Amino acid sequence: MSIDIEKLSAKELKSLISLASQRKKKLDKRKPAAGVRRQILAIAKKGGYTIAELFGTGGKAESAAKPVKRAARKAKGPSKVAPKYRNPADPNQTWAGRGKPPKWMAVELANGKTREDFAIQ
């Protein structure tokens, strides 16, 4: 994070200093992470667990274990669906009923026909 203090007004600087001071006080009250880590390890060990067993990451026991490999997923293309509608003027033109209707069907629907008129029996 970088703040260009040259561009801040006096009010913004005062607010920033106040926020920074509050944050520093909060950080100063915290115990060192190494000490907290030792306490957590001791509690886990007393209960008969490792950190890896409890949280799945971090402990010494996990670094010795082999990592679990996940199977890669194959990219799927659009799935094929059997056609439900056929153009009577050109039997090679079909539509599965998914997505936007093809132009030939849109024209016929605008002329008063229904989808059932093109249904494949």
Q: What is the pLDDT of residue 53?
A: 85
Q: What is the pLDDT of residue 39?
A: 92
What digits encode the pLDDT tens for the residues 61-99? 444 556 667 777 777 777 788 999 999 889 899 999 888
- Listing DSSP states for the chain in one string gives ----GGG--HHHHHHHHHHHHHHHHHHHHSPPHHHHHHHHHHHHHHTT--HHHHHSSSSHHHHHSPPPPPPPPPPP-PPP----EE-SS-TT-EE-S-SSPPHHHHHHHHTT--GGGGB--
Q: What is the pLDDT of residue 54?
A: 84
Q: What is the pLDDT of residue 52?
A: 85
* pTM listed for this prediction: 0.36
Q: How would residue 15 be classed by pLDDT, with cut points 50, 70 and 90?
A: very high
Cα separations (Å) of 82 from 57, 66, 85, 102, 119? 48, 46, 9, 15, 12
